Structure 1
Amino acid sequence: MDESIAANDPVRVVNTVVDNLNLDNFKKLYKETGRSAYHPKMMLKVIIYAYMNNIYSCRKIEKLLLRDIHYIWLAGNEHPDFITINRFRNRVKEEINNVFTQLVLVLA
């Protein structure tokens, strides 16, 4: 699948930039025990890439995670449902604002 995505594709930029962001605040939102959650970095990458493509619907993002090679690659072939995506987005609202600030500074 990796060979199917161009080296200069925006999905690779999102992947690299998010991997290099400081996401310590996200770790505070997760409990040490209980069922393992989808990785916050993966969820954030998917949401940022969706927003870059003017997609804000959790249901549309869920469908793209099953059909679009860019989203499948970015999510590492994981398939969170729309409820999980929405819960994540609501849980990290404030942190997402900080991430967007970091993202703008990195891209500038």
Structure 2
Amino acid sequence: MPNFRKYNYSQDAMIVVNFEDQLQPGTFEFTLHRLIDGHIDLSPFYDKYSNDQGGRAAYDPAILLKIILFAYAKGITSSREIQWQCENSIIFKALSCDAVPHFSSIASFVSGYPDAIESVFEQVLLVCDQ
């Protein structure tokens, strides 16, 4: 009988991952990451935050925008599914720096900032025209 190496799918493994290395040049996620970090003014999102004197730290709008826009581009519109992707997909983990926003935080962000999100799209069009 052949002698094969044993394997076990239920084992845990610790893997070192550099999130920025997962965002490869030439991909949509790389472009989205660079665009939001380097070219988009996110100040329209800051007005509603009032936790500078105390309270729990909020998710950075850049992180939320990256995962939401990436999800929407992939046809994922459910906030629960976006949360699941942040828990399980390496690209979502890379875009969010391993943050896993609760689905209610994702939904609140989308519904709470329609004008600010619209301004992101307007800025993207301006960047693309340059």
Q: Normalising by the residue count of structure 2, what TM-score does the alignment of the two structures yield?
A: 0.76
Inter-partner Cα distance in structure 1 for 2:70 and 2:47: 23
Aligned with residue 28 of structure 1, among 24, 34, 47: 47
- Report the Cα offset of residue 4 of structure 1: 3.9
Task: Output the aligned Cα RMSD.
Answer: 1.4
> Whose RCO is larger (CA < 8 A, sep 6+)?
1
- Report the Cα offset of residue 13 of structure 1: 0.4
Contact 2:85 2:92 in 1 (8 A): yes
Aligned with residue 8 of structure 1, among 13, 26, 33: 26
Which one has the largest radius of gyration?
2
Between Structure 1 and Structure 2, how many residues are aligned?
Answer: 108
- Report the Cα offset of residue 89 of structure 1: 1.0
Contact 2:25 2:31 in 1 (8 A): no
Gaps of 5+ in 1: none
Query: As a proportion of its length, which structure holds more helix?
Result: 1
Q: Normalising by the residue count of structure 1, what TM-score does the alignment of the two structures yield?
A: 0.91
Letter in 1 for 2:29: V
Q: Secondary structure at the match of 1:48?
A: helix
Inter-partner Cα distance in structure 2 for 1:97 and 1:3: 30
Letter in 2 for 1:90: S
User: Once the two structures are aligned, what percentage of the paired residues are identical?
Assistant: 28
